[in-house]
Amino acid sequence: MTGLRVFIHRLRGLFLKRKLEQELEDEIRSHLDMQIEDNLRRGMSPDEARYEALRKFGGVEQAKENYRDRRSLPLVDATLQDLRYGVRMLLKHKGFTVVAMLSLALGIGVNTAIFSVVDSILLRPLPYPGAERLVRVLEANLKPTHAWEGWTRLGVPLADFREWRSQSQSFEDAALHASGGGYRVSEPNGLKYLIGSRVSLNLFAFLGTQAWLGRTFLPEDEKPESEHVVVLSHVYWVERYKADPHVLGQKLVINDQPHTIVGILPDSFRDYFSYSARKDLERALPLRVFPLDTTQVWLPIKVTHEAATWYGRGGNRHGAYQVLARLKPGVSTQQAQAELSDIAARLAERYPESNENLGAAVYSLHEDVTGSSRRKLLLLVAAFSLVLLIACANVASLLLARGLDRAKELAIRRTLGAGRLRMLRQLLTEYLLLAGLGGTLGLALAVGMVAGIRPLIPADIPRSDAVTLDYRALLFTLGLTVLTTLLFGLLPAWQTAKLNLTEELKEAGRSVTASRRSRRWRHVLVAGQVALTMILLVGAGLLARSFWRFYGAELGYDMRNLVRMRIASPRPFARERYERVRPTDQDAAEWKSYWQPLLESARDLPGIVDAAFTSGYPPEGVNFGTPLRIPGHTPVNPRSGPIINGDIVSEDYFRLLEIKLLQGRYFNTDDRADTAPVIIVNESFARTYFPQQPTIGQTLTLFPGSKFEHPATIVGVVADTRAQLDRPVETHHYRPIAQVPLRGLNLLARTAGQPAESMTALQDVARLFNPNRIIARPVTLDEARARLTIKPRFYLALLGSLALLALLLAATGIYGTLLLAVGQRRHEIGVRRALGAQNQDVLRLVLREGLLLALAGLGLGLLGAWALTRFISGWLADVSATDPATFIIVTVLLGVIVLLACYAPARRAVRVDPLVALRHE
Amino acid sequence: MEQQKNEVLPGTLNLMVLKTLSTLGSLHGYGIARRIEQISGNLLQLNQGTIYPALLHLEQMGWISSEWGVSENNRRAKFYSITRAGKKQLAAEEESWRRAAEIIVRFLEPTGGNT
């Protein structure tokens, strides 16, 4: 209470300073006057009276100073004083202030911007209630066998889910979803695939969402016999129905079944939880005929009696779901995992036939959603903090250099009684002011940068839509400002505060040579900057090289004027197992009635030069391997063999892409369903598996150990191409379309001129032959390549501009430091010139200093880069993390820039006129 | 001949100021200083200037209040007077000092059986 009263009193003292100061002055004057009057009355002479009064009062200024300390808050008062002084100093040295402020603004700005991105994508909780307790639960395949095709995580059958639910204690609530499915929807201009999800009734409530229009699911929707209903995403409702509210109650035909539209979800609802399911779908099914960004149709899970009790146990996992659960407060993921593992073990005992080797896997939803981008974003953060370090080193070396100029001023203040701590505080206040200005400017910069970066963030990074700069970024900037002040300010402040008084006063008058220790520190800082820049440049260089190696390069054939059009299988998506068996008569008939005429008509279109079919999907590629047994090779896994990617192609595929035949023959019309299966391999395949023996005539066993096992004879070896833009050349094989039944294919066509017109014509022709097939919009391979490179380009652009920024900062740092050094050595240079030093001698003097710095920095940077680039090796496709070419190019580039930054100050030194320099003192 | 003067004991100045104000009512800084010197019979070495920080402190604590007024010889001066809280504080301090002084005196006075 008293403390508060005193504080308020003192606060008043702070603001009414001038008035109170006047009052104090008046009070003391009247005191002295009264004393003098009394003294005079006692018979002293006026001088005596005054002297005696002052003596009795005992030090007017001291009394005032004591009074002032008590009157206000001395710390705040002194700080305000320091701030005013700081502002004056900054205004006085405008050049320095601008450079330092810009350095800091850049450093703080880019870091705040990247923080916002990282915070929005990685750190902020997901927009669901109790988000930090949400987990994803799946069944764990404890012995990945051939049966589950190596999948280690499996969906949870309803029956198992119910057992888990009734036996476990760890969870507050749980919901089910089967996301990432492709659903065929009839739209006015034909069939279209939409991404859909079947969910349990409580899913929306579980995620804290209500229908924006209409309703979500009700208990009767779950019954198999009740009417089919669908809830639409806001996006789809706007896109397809133009946000028409009367759409409720209308029918939408999904997978040939009419569904009643009962609700629309709010615009703000995000299905981040189904991200990995959508991602899995993309990996398993390369049929990218629909955008994978968000779930568009929501359907209820229909619970049949079988499903609830047994369905899914017998080995058919089509009735399996993803489980979303919310842990009870205080229960850890590990505890939940342990509990579910126990339950799963009991189930495995009770139902050995279906549940043997099945465990449970519990992991945090947040990690699941953010995991894919975490590593890259954290690396970016690391790179960005390097730039901040460089900026700090820049400012620190500028301050050190300026500290020399200020040595005299500070020494005088010390002599006048300023304490060491007091001076340290004053300097730090000044620096904080500088950092504060830099931080404010940086924040403005960050706002601009975030706005600039946002549209560039690849949309398939989950939560990229939520990137904003909020109060957390503000706090971050504040923290960063204080941190940078400490980073750049402590060294110069410490250097200045430990000044030797007599030395400085003696020396500062002459400034013959710069103080040695301060110069040493400045050298360390400059070398450090060069080293950090080197690390960033090498990192960016490696990424660029890897980028050009794949994304910039061709696939091994001419990609220009090639158009790709996906014609989907009429069946809903399921892994195309039928690819493994021999074709039936029906397949042959379909080839004759649909595919072959389609191909011929496409070829006849004006503007189309040639066309072919392939199951491959250039340039994205297909991760769809075929297990093979190869004569003379014992596979690691005796049950199967190496799994090698292959395409199923029409016989004219090689001609279309001009892929050279090296040995044997291409496919021809004699390779039919009823002739012996043949296969063509690429050069890498032949080299890897048949280095000595002739390749032609070897017989491979396809799908060994499975019921689809059958032989195929190698009839040709073709030149290597890359199947996938982001991978190097790999072993690859081709099988003829006529010998493999396929329901969906890609039509590749080469156009004569501009592909645009031919593309619409292609789509029309494909529709003409069968309006019920889903035909994706044709794209040129160049277009597809551009879309594929968005993400790597984003990271590369970010890191590249960062490296350039670092280069700029470091060059300014070296330039500024040397320029100041030259300025401080004017006198010395003048003396040397007077003693007969030639231009080259002076040039050498300065350049030597710069060169030594550069070499030290480059050496350190090489070591650092060598040690650190391994952390980005995951990003580098087929480029070693210590790629010599990159290291050499970067060293030379940086060396040249550093030399240029040294040369300008050296020229300046040459122009020093000995007469002027000597007279200057 | 120089009289031997005592330093002001730490903490006692506040007490003296409060006591003065409680005895004489409203008074300016110079008056307070004079009064302290008189009471102490000029035995106290008082730097009159030290009285002002002390007055400020007492005012901040809420024990005295101040206002500008005019002195007996028509001079503008700041007059201090004790507040209710100040009186309470004075009573408490007086009591504790009296007790402390008593103890010291007991130590210094030779008692009956101890010689």
Buried b (16+ CB within 10 A) or exposed e, A287-304: bbbbebbbbbbbbbbebe
Q: Closest chain B residue to A65 measured between Cα atoms?
A: B53
Q: Which DSSP state fits A592?
A: I
Tens digit of pLDDT for each residue in A216-227?
A: 898 888 888 888
User: Which residue, chain included where needed, has tokens 């007059």?
Assistant: B79
Predicted pLDDT of residue A229: 92
Give one DSSP letter per residue of A211-244, joined into a string. Answer: -SEE----GGGGSTTSPPEEEE-HHHHHHHHTT-
Residues of A in contact with B63 (CB under 8 A): none
Residues of B in contact with A38 (CB under 8 A): 34
pLDDT band of residue A499 (cuts 50, 70, 90) is low
pLDDT band of residue A577 (cuts 50, 70, 90) is very low
- Any chain A CB within 8 A of the CB of B74? no
The residue-averaged pLDDT of A55-70 equals: 80
- Contact (CB, 8 A) for A349 and A342: no
Tens digit of pLDDT for each residue in A726-739?
A: 778 889 999 998 88
The residue-averaged pLDDT of A21-31 equals: 86
* pLDDT greater than 90 at residue A717: yes
Q: Closest chain B residue to A32 measured between Cα atoms?
A: B30
Of B62, B73, B78, the CB nearest to A37: B73
- Any chain B CB within 8 A of the CB of A691? no
The model's pTM: 0.69
* pLDDT greater than 70 at residue A26: yes
Q: Is A265 helix (H, G, I), strand (E, B) or coil?
A: coil
Residues of A in contact with B71 (CB under 8 A): 30, 34
Q: Closest chain B residue to A20 measured between Cα atoms?
A: B56
Share of chain A above pLDDT 70, in %: 87
Give me the residues of B, 83-112, that contact A with CB < 8 A. Answer: none
Contact A60 B49 (CB under 8 A): yes
Predicted pLDDT of residue A513: 46
First-to-final CA distance of chain A: 61
**Selected residue with higher pLDDT from A503 and A257:** A257
- Two structure tokens written together for A693: 């023996």
Give me the residues of A, 68-127, that contact B with CB < 8 A. Answer: 69-71
The residue-averaged pLDDT of A270-297 equals: 64
**Close Cβ partners of A574 (under 8 Å, ≥ 6 residues apart):** none
The residue-averaged pLDDT of A407-418 equals: 73
Question: What's the rounded Cα separation, in Å, for the pair A612 and B39?
Answer: 119
- Rounded to a whole number of angstroms, the distance from the CA of A423 to the nearest CA of chain B is 26
Question: What's the rounded Cα separation, in Å, for the pair A889 and A500?
Answer: 46
The Cα-based distances of A634 to A638, A642, A692, A780 in angstroms read 7, 9, 17, 42
The residue-averaged pLDDT of A276-302 equals: 65
What single-letter amino acid sits at B65?
Answer: S
pLDDT band of residue A25 (cuts 50, 70, 90) is confident
Tell me the longest C-alpha to C-alpha distance in chain A.
Answer: 142
- Any chain B CB within 8 A of the CB of A470? no
Burial class (CB in 10 A: 0-12, 13-18, 19+), B14: buried
- ipTM, 2 decimals? 0.84
Give me the residues of A, 14-43, that contact B with CB < 8 A. Answer: 23-24, 26-28, 30-31, 33-35, 37-38
Of B34, B57, B73, the CB nearest to A70: B57
Contact A31 B50 (CB under 8 A): no
Residues of A in contact with B57 (CB under 8 A): 70
Q: Is A399 helix (H, G, I), strand (E, B) or coil?
A: helix
Predicted pLDDT of residue A386: 84
- Rounded to a whole number of angstroms, the distance from the CA of B108 to the nearest CA of chain A is 33
Contact A63 B61 (CB under 8 A): no
Residue A647 backbone phi and psi in degrees, to 5: -120, 155
The residue-averaged pLDDT of A53-72 equals: 80
Residues of A in contact with B59 (CB under 8 A): 9
pLDDT band of residue A305 (cuts 50, 70, 90) is low
pLDDT band of residue A420 (cuts 50, 70, 90) is confident
The mean of the pLDDT values for chain A is 80
Q: Which DSSP state fits A455?
A: G
Q: What counts of helices (H) and strands (E) characterise chain A?
A: 29, 23
- Two structure tokens written together for A860: 């350190």
Contact A58 B49 (CB under 8 A): yes
- Rounded to a whole number of angstroms, the distance from the CA of A12 to the nearest CA of chain B is 11
Question: What's the rounded Cα separation, in Å, for the pair A353 and A332?
Answer: 31
Predicted pLDDT of residue A286: 43
Q: Choose among A127, A13, A123: nearest CA to A76.
A: A13
Q: Choose among B7, B8, B22: nearest CA to B93.
A: B22
CB contacts < 8 A, A to B, total 75
- Rounded to a whole number of angstroms, the distance from the CA of B97 to the nearest CA of chain A is 22
Contact B62 A37 (CB under 8 A): no
Q: Choose among A247, A240, A251: nearest CA to A264.
A: A247
Predicted pLDDT of residue A1: 56
User: Which residue, chain included where needed, has tokens 């001038």?
Assistant: A18
Question: What's the rounded Cα separation, in Å, for the pair A460 and A776?
Answer: 20
Spans of chain B below 50 pLDDT: 1-2, 112-115
Bridge partner list, B69: B77
pLDDT band of residue A355 (cuts 50, 70, 90) is confident
In degrees, to the nearest 5, what angle opens at C-alpha A70 toward C-alphas A67 and A74? 110
Predicted pLDDT of residue A517: 64
* pLDDT greater than 70 at residue A131: yes
Residue B64 backbone phi and psi in degrees, to 5: -130, 160
- Any chain B CB within 8 A of the CB of A57? yes
Residues of B in contact with A60 (CB under 8 A): 49
pLDDT band of residue A163 (cuts 50, 70, 90) is confident
pLDDT band of residue A582 (cuts 50, 70, 90) is low
Residue A606 backbone phi and psi in degrees, to 5: -65, 140
Residues of A in contact with B77 (CB under 8 A): 27, 30-31, 34
pLDDT band of residue A586 (cuts 50, 70, 90) is confident
* pLDDT greater than 80 at residue A430: yes
Tens digit of pLDDT for each residue in A626-649?
A: 878 888 877 655 555 677 888 889
Residues of B in contact with A28 (CB under 8 A): 49, 52
Give one DSSP letter per residue of A89-101, joined into a string. Answer: HHHHTHHHHHHHH
Bridge partner list, B64: B82
Residues of B in contact with A65 (CB under 8 A): none
Residues of A in contact with B52 (CB under 8 A): 24, 27-28, 63, 66-67
Q: Closest chain B residue to A69 measured between Cα atoms?
A: B53
Predicted pLDDT of residue A685: 92
Predicted pLDDT of residue A611: 92
Predicted pLDDT of residue A230: 92
Contact B61 A35 (CB under 8 A): no
Q: Choose among A293, A267, A92: nearest CA to A179.
A: A293
Question: What's the rounded Cα separation, in Å, for the pair A855 and A862?
Answer: 10
Of B49, B73, B75, the CB nearest to A59: B49
Q: Closest chain A residue to B32 measured between Cα atoms?
A: A31
pLDDT band of residue A572 (cuts 50, 70, 90) is very low
Question: What's the rounded Cα separation, in Å, for the pair A361 and A158?
Answer: 16
The residue-averaged pLDDT of A681-699 equals: 91
Contact B53 A67 (CB under 8 A): yes
Residue A559 backbone phi and psi in degrees, to 5: -90, -10
Q: What kind and span of H or E run contains A626?
A: strand A625-629
pLDDT band of residue A679 (cuts 50, 70, 90) is very high
- Any chain A CB within 8 A of the CB of B72? no
Contact B47 A5 (CB under 8 A): no
Tens digit of pLDDT for each residue in A796-836?
A: 888 888 888 888 888 888 888 777 777 777 778 888 888 88
- Any chain B CB within 8 A of the CB of A594? no
Contact B71 A34 (CB under 8 A): yes
The residue-averaged pLDDT of A698-724 equals: 86
- Two structure tokens written together for A629: 């047994």
Predicted pLDDT of residue A576: 44
- Any chain B CB within 8 A of the CB of A62? yes
Share of chain A above pLDDT 90, in %: 9
Give one DSSP letter per residue of A43-104, joined into a string. Answer: T--HHHHHHHHHHHHT-HHHHHHHHHHHHS-HHHHHHHHHHHHHHHHHHHTHHHHHHHHHHH
- Rounded to a whole number of angstroms, the distance from the CA of B60 to the nearest CA of chain A is 5
In degrees, to the nearest 5, what angle opens at C-alpha A618 toward C-alphas A680 and A458? 150
- Rounded to a whole number of angstroms, the distance from the CA of A128 to the nearest CA of chain B is 53
User: Which residue, chain included where needed, has tokens 């403390």?
Assistant: A3
Q: Closest chain B residue to A71 measured between Cα atoms?
A: B56
pLDDT band of residue A515 (cuts 50, 70, 90) is low
User: Which residue, chain included where needed, has tokens 């931080």?
Assistant: A439
What single-letter amino acid sits at A736?
Answer: P
**Selected residue with higher pLDDT from A487 and A718:** A718
Predicted pLDDT of residue A288: 46
Q: Closest chain B residue to A67 measured between Cα atoms?
A: B53
- Contact (CB, 8 A) for A194 and A181: no
* Lowest mean pLDDT segment, chosen from A258-267, A271-280, A691-700, A778-787: A271-280
The residue-averaged pLDDT of A857-875 equals: 84
**Selected residue with higher pLDDT from B1 and A232:** A232
